Amino acid sequence: MSRIIGSEFFVLFLCLIAFAAFAPFTPGFVSTGNFENLLTACLPLLVLATGQTMVLITGGIDLSVTAIIGLSSVVGALVMGGEQGWLGGSPMAMPVAVAGMLATGALVGLFNGACIAWLRMPAFMVTLTTTMFFSGLAVWLAKKVVNAESIYHLPPAFLALGAQAWMALALAVFATFVAHVLLARTLLGRWLYAVGHNPRASLISGVPVAGVTVGAYVLSGIFAAMAAILLTARLETGSPNHGKALLLDVIGAAVIGGTSLFGGKGKVLWTVYGVLFLSLISNGLNLLNLSDFLITIIKGVVILVAALLDVWRTRFVRGS
Amino acid sequence: MRASNSRPLLRLLDFAPVALFVAVLLVFGAMSDKFLTADNFTQILVQSSSTAVVAVGMTFVLLTAGVDLSVGAIMFVGAGIAGKMALAGQPLSLCVLTMLGVGLLGGAVNAVLVTRFKLVAFIATLATLYIGRGMGRWITQTRAMNLPDSFLALGSAKGLGVPLPLLIAGAVVLIAQWVLSMTPFGRQLYALGNNPDAARKAGLPTTRLLTAVYLVCGVCAGLGGLLALSQLGSVSPKFGELYEFDAITAAVLGGTSLFGGRGRVFPGTVLGAVLLKSIFNGLVMVQADPYLYPLITSSIIFGAVLIDSLRSHLMVRLGRRKIRVEAGAN
Amino acid sequence: MRPRPLRTRTFLTAMTAVIVMAALTGCGKPDAPGAATQPPAAVGQVKTIGVAFETLQTEFWVAGFDKLKAECAAKGITMLEGVADGDASKQFDQVKNFINRKVDGIIIVPKDGKTVIPMIKAANAANIPVVLYNRPADATDARHTAVAPDNFAITRETVTYLVSLAKKTGRKQKAMILMGDLSDVNAIGRRDGFEAAVKEAGDAVEVVARIPTDWNQEKALAGVQSAMQANPDIGLIFTSSDFMFPSIKSVLSNLGKWKKHNEPGHILLGGFDGDATAYQLMADGYVDATGVQDVYWEAEQAIQVILDAKAGRPAPVRIDDKGFAITQANLKEMESRMWGAVVAKNKK
Amino acid sequence: MDFTPNNAERPKTNQEPVVVFERIEKSFFGVKVLQGVSFGVGVGRIVGLVGENGAGKSTLMNLLGGNLQPDAGELRVNGHRYTPRNPKDARAAGIAFVHQELNLFSNLSIAENLFLTDFPLLGIGVPWIDRRALRSRAAELLRQVGLDHSPDTLVERLPAGERQLVEIAKALGAEARVILLDEPTTSLSSRECERLFALVTQLRDRGMALLYISHALGDVLRLCDDLVVLRDGERVGSGATKDFTHDRLVSMMVGRQLNQIYPERRAPIQTGSSESMASPDGGAVLQVDRISQPGIVRDLSFKLGAGEVLGISGLMGAGRSELARILFGLDPFASGEVRLSGELLTGSPRERIRRGLAFLTEDRRQEGLCMEASIADNLALVGLPANSRTPARFLDFTGIQSAVTRMREAVKLSAKATDGQAVRTLSGGNQQKVVLGKWLLMEPKVLLLDEPTRGIDVGAKFEIYQLIHQLADRGAGVLVISSEIEELMGICDRILVMRGGEITGEFRRDDFDRERILAAALHSSKA
C-alpha cells in the first residue's frame, strides 16, 4: 500500500482508477475512436505542461505560454498562409514557417527570462504583462498584415501534422522525451534543479544562475511554440485565439503531477501523468453529456482532491 | 562611490510610481482636453472603486505571501445569488448582505484549505476559482440578468455630493490602512509575511492570522462585486472574470511584494487600481486604435513593475554594510 | 527529489504503459457496456444530434440552445451537448466525441469560420451531416450547411434607420459604437455593417468613439462613460450586442440622458440580436432599433436540415436568416417575429 | 524593569531552583534522545549546557519551550509542575528564548518587534496600538540592554550583534524570569560578545536564572556558574564551573580522551605531489595587490603561499568576509589586482572556480547548501561541469557517483546518512562537511574558508582542521577567516589581522600571541 502511495506512479494509478470508473457508465468511452481523440486532444496540453515544468522547477512560473501560442500561430500562418502568406505556395513555406514559429516562442521566452534573471522582476508579473502584450500583438498583426482575424489555407505538408494523429503524437512524444532527457541526464537539467533549490548557493557553486533561468524560459517558449504548431495544424488555421483556455490546465496538470511551485521538485514523467489524468477526466465528463458548468465545477474539485492527496501522501510517506 | 551617489537616484525611484502615474495623466491630458477635468476624475475614481476594494483584500493576502485567485469567482457567485433574490423581489438590503455573506463563505473555504489542509494558496484558490465559476454559471443558468433599478440607484446615489461607491471604497481603504498600520493584527501580518517560521516561534496566532486575511479578501470580493453591480445593473456570465489579475496588478503597481511582508493599501494599492482605470479611460478619450489598447496598457504596467524592481534592487545594494568612512571625496 | 540516472528506462516504460492502455481500449469492443446503451444509428431515422456551442455567454446563445433542445425533445431526438468556452480546440474534441458516439447529425456554433472546417471534414469522413448554426464557415469544399444571419446586412439596415433619424434632427450627430471581441467574426461583421451605413450617411454622422468591449459589460460601461465624458454631445450609440444595453442605460441615466424616443434630449440607440432586454427597452420606448436574427427559425432550420439529410434530401450550403431591423416604426407588426419578445412574454 | 515582585513570589524557604528537569525521557521513532536527564537552574545562576550536536540539548529546549512533551519525567518551574503545550505557555511561565538564528522581523521597527505579541493598546479591548506607550516602553528596554537606537529604527538596519541584544530586550519585555540562550554568540564579533556577556552577568545579578548553550567552550567556562554536560541524551557531568577544565569538558562531551583540540601542524613533506616541497614561504598561489573598494577595503596586499594555511583575524565588520567575497568575484572592487598562481584573476565565480578557487561562506544555510536537495546532489554540484560530456553536456553518472563516494569518505561523513538523504536532516557538523566535500571534489588551488567551524561540535571541528591541513599538504593555499583567535592560532602558519578594511597586523606561527592579535584587531596595530 505505502509503496503505491509513495511511488511516483501514484498519479498514473489515479488515471487507471478514473479510467475504470468511467468505463462502465460512459457511452463510447471505451473505444478506439475515443482513445484516439483522447490522445490527440491532450497533446498540446502535454507539450505546454512539459515546458512549464522546466520553469516551475527553477521556482518560476510562465503565464505567457498561451500568448506565445497565439502569436507564433499567427506568425507561422503569415509566413506560409495560402492567399497572402509571405511564402505562400513556395515549397520552403513550411520549414521556414515552423522555424519562424519556434523562433517566436524562443524570443518571447528570452524576453521573459531576461526581465526575470537580469532585471530581477517577479516572474508572475512579467509573464502576466507579456501575456497581455503578445496576445494583443497577435491580434494586431493578423489585422494589420492580412486584415483578418485568423488565417486559413495552410500548406498540406503542414496540415498533415494535424490530420495524421500519429505524426502529432510522434512530435509531442519526441518533445516530451527530449525534455525528460534534458532534465534527468544533462548538466543544464541539474542546474535547473539547483537554481530552484537555492539560487545563491548555486551561484557560489559556479552555476550560471541568470543564464540557466533565461534558458528555462526560452525552453518554455519553444515548447509553447510546438504546442502552437500542433494546434494550428489541427485546426488548419493560424489564429490569436488558439490555446487561450489552456493556461490554468497547464499549471494544474503540472502540479497534479507533483511538481512544486516553489522549485527544485518536479519531473517530466510526473507531468505526463498529470496531463493524462486531467484529459481523462474532461474527456469522460464530456462523453457523459454533463452540462458545462458541472464540468467546470468537477474540474475544480479534481484539482483540489489531487492537491489534497499530494499533501496527505507526503505526510503518509514521511510517517512510515 | 557608485553606492554613494545612487542615494538620490533611489529617492528618485521612490517617487517613480507616483511619477509614472502623473506622467500617464499628463500625456492623456495633453492629448484630450476632456481628460483632466474634475468630472472625468471622479468618474475614473468611481470606475476604480470596485477594483480598488477587491485589490485591498488582495493586498492583505499578498502581505502574507499568499494569493487569492478566486476573488473573481466569488464576485460572480455572490452577484448571481443576489441577482436572483432581487428579481424574486427581495429587499436590496438583504441582497447586499447576501453578497457579503457569500464573500465571507468563499474566503472561509479558501482559509480552511490553506490553513487546515496546508494547500499552497495558488492551487487552493485556483481550484475554488473553477468551482466558483461553475457554480455561478449554474445559478445564473448562464443567462444575463438585468437587475431592478434599485441597484443602479445605489450606484448613482450621492452622499454629501460624493458618489456612494466612492464613499464605500474610501471607507474600506481607510479602515484597511488603519488596520494594517495601527492594530496588533496588522503589524503581526507584516511579521508573518516577513518570516513565517519566526512568527510561529514567537507564538503569533499564525493560523488565525491566515484565516483572517482570506476572510477579509473574500468579504472585499463580495463588496467589490456589489460596487460593480451597482454600476452595471446586470449580471452577465462574464461578471468578475479576470478580476483576480486586475487586483494583483493593482496591488503590485502600488508597491506590494508578491513575496510577503511589504505593501500598503494607501496610497499604494489604491494608486494602482486608479492607474489601471485611467489608462483605459484615457485611451477612449484620445480615441486610440482599439487594437493598441492591450499593447499600451501592458507596456505601462510593465514599466511600473520594472521601476519597482530596480528600486528594491538598489535598496539591497545600499543595504550592504559600510565598514569604513572614506576620507575626502574619493 | 533529484532525477536519478537510468530514469530514461522508467520513462520509456511509462510511455509504453500509456500505449498499452491505448491498445487495451482499442481492443475494447465497441459494444462494451458503455456503448451498449447507445443505439446504432438506423438509416433515415434520426436518434441523436450533437450540439456544440462555442459559448453560452449571452441571452442570445441560450435562447438558441433552448430552442434546439425543445425541438429535439418534440421530435424525440436525444441531444448531446458541448460548450467550448471559446476554445476551438476544445470544440474539435467535443465534435470528435459526437462522431465517436455515432450521432446522426451535428450542429455547431463555431468559434470562427475557419477553425470549424477541419471539424466539418471529420464529420464528412464519418458521413454525418453538419449544420453551422448562426456562424457560416469560410469558403470550403467540405460538405455542410450554414444557417446564419447576414450580420453585415442586418446591422447596416439597423444603423441606416438610426442614421435616417439622425438626419431628421438636422444637426450633424456624433456617434459611438460598442464593438465586440475583435477576434470574433460576428463582431467584425457588425462593425463593418455599422461603418458602411455611416459612410453612406456622408457627413450626417461622425463616429467619435469606437470601443472594444471584448464582449464584457464592464468594459462597455467604462467605455461609454469615458466616451460620454469626452463627447457629451454624442447623439447616437450602437452596440454590437443587445446584452450591453444595461451598461449604456446605467451611464445615460446617471447623466440624465436616458430618455424615451419621443422625449427631448433622447439619444438614438441601436443594437443587435433582438433579445428580451432589447424588446423590453423598445416596448418602453428607449431603444430605437435593433437588428433581429430569427433564432427560432434558425434552430428549426438546423434540425430540419439534418432530418432531410438523413432522409437523403441534400440541403443547400447556405440558408440565410434574412433577419430584419425592428424599429419603433415597425415594432407592432414585427414583434411577433422577434424572439426576444417571446422570451420576455414567457418570463411574465 | 523591576524584578523584586518575582523575587518576592519566589518561596524563600525551599532552595529549589526556578527550573527543574527531573528524569526526563524522550524518544523519536523509538530512538531515545533523552534518557533520564535531571538538573536545575537556580535563581541568580548562569547554567552552561554543553554537549556535541545530537546530545539532546535542542530537545531539552523544545521541551522547555512547549514545542515537545516529555515521554516520562517532569518539568517544574518555581516548584510547580510545568506542562507547556505551546510557546505561549512557556512565555506565560516567564521563560524566554534567545535563539541561534535570530527571530526578529526585519521589516518591522525595534519597538514593534519587542511587543509584537502584546502591544500596548489605547484601552482594554480597543485594538488600537498606543504608539507613545510603545515607544517609551521600548526605549526603556533598549536602555536596559544598552542599545542607543530610536525604537522606531527598522530592524533591517541593525548589525547582527545589536539584533541579538534586541532579542534579549524582548525577553526582558516579556518579564521573563528564566532566559535560555542558544548559541547566542555565533554571529557576534568578539567585542559584541563582551557586551553580551556583561549584560548576561548583570541579569544574573538581578536574580534571573539563565541557561546558556554554546559550543564555544572558552565562553562557557568564563561566563557560567554551573555546567551540565550531555552526551547521547544522558547527563555525563555537572557541577560548579570551577571544577571543570577545557580539556576535561571536551573529553566528557566526546566520551573519549581527546589528547588535542587542534591537529599537529607538520611541515608539508612526505606527500608525493610535486608541490609538496612548497614551504609556507614558497611560490605564492594567490597574490593580492593593493585592492580597494570604497567603503569596504583599502589597499589590501598579501600573498598566500602554496601549502600555506593563512588565518585572517579581526572583529566582525573588519572587512574579512567582504575581502573573501571580493576575491571570489561576488562583490566588485574599484582598484588593485588579484593573481592566481601568477595569472590575473577575473570574471564570475564560475570562471574563478574553473581556475581552481573555492569558497566556503560563513552562511551555510543560505549560501552553502541546497537544504532540500540530497547529500549526493550537493556534493556533486561544483564538480558537475567536469563530469559532463559534450555534445549537450550529458552527465557521467558513474563518474559523479564515484566522486561522491570518494568525497564522503574523505570528509568522514557520518555513515548513517544515505546519499539520497536531504542535507536539511544532517547535523551542523555533517552539513559543513558536505560543503567542504563539495569544494574538495574539485581539488582547489586556493580554498577560502569563512568561519568554517561556527556552531559545530568539537569532534567535527577536529576533523575539519585535519582536512584543511591535508589540503595544504597537497600544495593548496588555504585562507581561514575566524572570530576565534585560538582556532587560528591552532591551525594557521600565519595570521593577518584586519581592522576597518585594512591589514593592521601580521604574525608568524612562532610569535603568535592572543593579546597582541586582539590588540591589533581592536585599535591601531602594535604588530
Tens-digit pLDDT profile for residues B93-141: 999 999 999 999 999 999 999 999 999 899 899 999 999 999 999 998 8
Residue B142 has what pLDDT?
Answer: 79
Say how far apart CA C205 and CA C227 lie, in whole Å: 16
- 3-class secondary structure, D326: helix
Q: Across the interface, do C2 and D397 touch by the CB < 8 Å criterion?
A: no
Please tell me whether residues C135 and C201 are part of one structural domain.
no
Q: Which residues does residue D44 pair with via DSSP β-bridges, in sequence order? A: none
Contact (Cβ atoms closer than 8 angstroms) between residue C298 and residue C134: yes
Closest-CA residue of A relative to B248 is A125
The percentage of chain B sitting over the pLDDT mark of 70, rounded to a whole number, equals 94
Q: For position C68, what pLDDT does the model report?
A: 94
pLDDT of res. A2: 59
A206 touches chain D (CB under 8 A): yes
Rounded-to-integer distance, Cα B321 and Cα B324, Å: 9
Residue B203 has pLDDT above 90, yes or no: no
- Smallest Cβ–Cβ distance between B284 and the set C227, C246, C247 belongs to C227
For residue A320, the model assigns a pLDDT of: 47
Residue pair A283/A34 in contact by the 8 Å Cβ criterion: yes
**Statement: residue C57 has pLDDT above 60:** yes
Is residue C36 very low, low, confident or very high in pLDDT (cuts 50, 70, 90)?
Answer: very low
pLDDT, residue C34, reads 37
Higher pLDDT, B283 or C29: B283
Beta strands in C213-331 (DSSP E): 234-239, 268-273, 289-292, 318-321, 324-327
Q: Is the pLDDT of residue D144 over 50?
A: yes
User: Do C265 and C144 lie in a common domain?
Assistant: no
Strands (E), D427-501: 446-450, 477-481, 494-499
**Cβ atoms D45, D226 nearer than 8 A:** yes
D317 has pLDDT over 80: no
Q: What would the pLDDT profile of D435-448 be if each residue is shown by its tens digit?
A: 999 999 999 999 99
Cα angle B298, B304, B307 (rounded to 5 degrees) comes to: 140
- Chains in contact with C via at least 3 Cβ–Cβ pairs below 8 Å: A, B, D
Indicate the residue of C2, C5, C6 with minimum beta-carbon distance to D374: C2
Q: Within a domain: residue C11?
A: no
CB D27 within 8 A of CB D33: yes
What are the boundaries of each domain within chain A? 9-22+31-315
What digits encode the pLDDT tens for the residues A57-90?
999 999 999 999 999 999 999 999 866 778 877 8
Residue D210 C-alpha cell reads as 539563565
Rounded to an integer, what distance in angstroms lies between the CA atom of residue A228 and that of residue A69? 5
Question: Inter-axis angle of helices C7-27 and A10-25, to 10 degrees?
Answer: 0
Answer whether D335 touches B (CB < 8 Å): no
From first CA to last CA, the distance across chain D in angstroms is 45
Using the predicted structure, report yes or no on whether residue C35 has a pLDDT greater than 90: no
pLDDT, chain A, mean: 89
B31-34, Cβ contacts within 8 angstroms, sequence gap of 24 or more = B31/B282, B31/B285, B31/B286, B32/B282, B32/B285, B32/B286, B32/C230, B34/B285, B34/C229, B34/C230, B34/C231
How confident is the model over D415-419, as a mean pLDDT? 84
By Cβ distance, the residue of D349, D373, D438 closest to A197 is D373
DSSP code for C267: P
Nearest by CB: D350 against A193, A197, A206: A206
pLDDT of residue B323: 53
Query: Is D286:D304 a contact under the CB 8 Å cutoff?
Result: yes
Which of C15, C80, C90 is the closest to A245 by Cβ?
A: C90
Please indicate, yes or no, whether residues C204 and C330 belong to a single structural domain of this protein. Answer: yes
Q: In the structure, what pLDDT confidence band is assigned to residue B279 with cuts at 50, 70 and 90? A: very high
Distances (CA, A) of D16 to D42, D181, D442: 7, 22, 57
What's the whole-number average pLDDT of chain D? 84
Give the closest of C59, C179, C250 to B155, CB-based: C250
Q: Do C58 and B144 touch (CB under 8 A)?
A: yes
What is the three-class DSSP state of C310?
Answer: helix
Q: What integer pLDDT is reported at residue C2 of this predicted model?
A: 43
Beta bridge partners of D304: D286
Spatial CA neighbour of D506 closest among D317, D343, D303: D303
At residue D128, φ and ψ (nearest 5 deg) are: -130, 115
Average pLDDT over residues C146-162: 92
Per-residue pLDDT, averaged over C177-205, amounts to: 88
Cβ separation D377–A204 shorter than 8 A? no
Q: How many angstroms away from the CA of B256 is the closest CA of chain A?
A: 12
Better-scored residue on pLDDT, D182 or B325: D182
Domains and CATH numbers, chain D: 102-174 (no CATH), 274-522 (3.40.50.300)
**Nearest CB to C89 within list A29, A231, A269:** A231
Q: Mind listing the pLDDT tens digit for each residue in D319-356?
A: 888 899 999 999 889 999 999 988 899 889 999 999 99
State the chains in contact with B (3 or more Cβ–Cβ pairs under 8 Å): A, C, D
Give the largest Cα separation in chain A, rounded: 65
Question: What average pLDDT is seen over chain C?
Answer: 84
Q: Give the minimum alpha-carbon distance from D116 to chain B in angstroms, rounded to a whole number.
A: 7
- DSSP three-state, residue D290: strand
Residue in D with minimal Cα distance to A209: D350
Here the cell at position D217 is 567552550
Question: Do C50 and C89 lie in a common domain?
Answer: yes
Least confident of A50-54, D305-309, D481-485: D481-485
pLDDT over 50 at D29, yes or no: yes
Provide block-wise average pLDDT over 10 residues at a time, chain A (320 residues). Answer: 67 86 83 84 94 96 96 94 76 91 97 95 94 94 85 88 86 95 94 95 94 97 96 91 87 88 90 92 84 85 85 69
Chain A, nearest residue to D381 by Cα: A205
Q: Are B123 and A261 in contact (CB < 8 Å)? A: yes
What is the rounded average pLDDT of the residues B205-210? Answer: 94
Is A187 an 8 Å CB contact of chain C?
no
Which fold does the domain A9-22+31-315 belong to in CATH? ABC transporter involved in vitamin B12 uptake, BtuC (1.10.3470)
- Report the candidate in B36, B11, B2 with the shortest Cα–Cα distance to residue B282: B36
For residue B185, the chain D residue with the least C-alpha distance is D127
What is each CA distance from D316 to B84, C206, D452, D499, in whole angstroms? 68, 75, 15, 9
- Identify the CATH number of the domain in which residue C245 sits: 3.40.50.2300
Nearest CB to B295; choose among A120, A133, A308: A133
Long-range CB pairs of B188-192 (<8 Å, 24+ gap) are: B188/D116, B189/B60, B189/B63, B189/B64, B189/B213, B190/B63, B190/B261, B190/D105, B190/D107, B190/D108, B191/B261, B191/D105, B191/D107, B191/D108, B191/D112, B191/D116, B192/B63, B192/B64, B192/B260
Cell of B26: 499628463
Interatomic CA distance for residues C5 and D397, integer angstroms: 6
CATH node for B46-316 = 1.10.3470.10
Torsion angles phi and psi, residue D358, rounded to 5: -135, 150
ipTM: 0.84
Q: Does C2 touch chain D (CB under 8 A)?
A: yes
- The answer to whether the CB atoms of A235 and C96 lie below 8 A apart is no
C82-135 tens-digit pLDDT: 888 888 888 999 999 899 888 999 999 998 888 999 999 999 999 999 999 988
Q: How many CB pairs below 8 A link A and C?
A: 177
B198 in D contact zone (CB under 8 Å)? yes
- Separation of alpha carbons C173 and C189, rounded Å: 23
CA distance C304 to C290: 28
C15 inside domain: no
The count of domains in chain C is 2
Within 13 Å of residue D89, how many CA atoms lie on the same side as its CB? Answer: 15
Residue D280: per-residue pLDDT: 43
Which of D325, D384, D404 is most worth mutating to test chain A (most A CB atoms within 10 A of its CB)?
D384
pLDDT at D183: 82
Concatenating the DSSP letter of every residue in B120-154 gives -HHHHHHHHHHHHHHHHHHHHTT--EEPPHHHHHH
CA A280 vs CA A26, A35, A275: distances in Å: 12, 10, 8
- Residue D213's DSSP bridge partners are D49, D182
Q: The domain containing residue C49 runs over which residues?
A: 44-149+295-321
The neighbours of chain A, by the rule of 3 or more Cβ pairs under 8 Å, are B, C, D
Sheet-wide strand order for C318-321: C78-83, C48-53, C105-108, C130-133, C145-149, C318-321
Interface probe for B, chosen from D103, D154, D321, D326 (most Cβ of B below 10 Å), is D103
User: What is the C-alpha separation between D197 and D212, in angstroms, rounded?
Assistant: 11
In angstroms, the CA C183 to CA C177 distance is 16
What's this model's pTM, rounded to 2 decimal places?
0.87
Chain A's closest residue to C1, CA to CA, is: A265
φ, ψ at C80 (rounded to 5°):
-90, 135
Q: Is C284 exposed, middle or buried (0-12, 13-18, 19+ CB in 10 A)?
A: exposed
| Minimum CA–CA partner of C88 in chain A | A242
D347-386 pLDDT tens trace: 899 999 999 999 999 888 889 999 989 999 999 999 999 8
Spell out which residues of chain D touch residue B1, defining contact as CB-CB under 8 Å: 294, 334
Query: Which distant-in-sequence residues (6+ apart) come within 8 Å of D323 by Cβ?
Result: D297, D300, D312, D498
- Statement to judge: residues C209 and C334 lie in one domain: yes
**Is residue C28, in this structure, part of any structural domain at all?**
no
Cα C282 to Cα C273: distance, rounded to the nearest angstrom: 13
Banded pLDDT at D453 (limits 50, 70, 90): confident
Q: Are residues C164 and C276 in the same domain?
A: yes
Q: What is the mean pLDDT of residues B188-206?
A: 90
Residue D260: per-residue pLDDT = 67
Nearest CA in chain C to A151: C114
Please identify among residues 79-138 of chain A the ones whose CB lies closer than 8 Å to any CB of chain C: none
**Out of A236, A267, A276, whose CB is closest to C18?**
A276
Q: Is the pLDDT of residue C15 over 50?
A: yes
Whether D88 sits inside 8 A of B323 (CB atoms) is no
Q: How far apart are CA C227 and CA C248, in angstroms?
A: 11
Chain D residues in contact with A265 by the CB 8 A cut-off are 372
**Does residue B299 have a pLDDT over 50?**
yes
d(CA D496, CA D482): 11
Following DSSP, what letter does each residue of D95-148 receive, concatenated?
A: EEEE-SS----TTSBHHHHHTTTS--EEETTEEEE-HHHHHHHHHHHHHHTT--
The reply to whether B161 touches chain D by the CB within 8 Å rule is no
Q: Does D347 touch chain B (CB under 8 A)?
A: no
Cα separation, B68 vs B66, whole angstroms: 7
CB pairs under 8 A between C and D: 11
The secondary structure element, H or E, covering residue A213 is helix A209-235
Taking 80 as the threshold, does the pLDDT of residue B273 lie above it?
yes
Interface chains of chain D (3 or more CB pairs under 8 Å)? A, B, C
Residue of D nearest to C1 (CA): D373
C75 vs D449: CA distance, rounded Å = 86
CA angle (A148 as vertex; C295, C163 as ends), nearest 5: 55
Same domain, C160 and C131: no
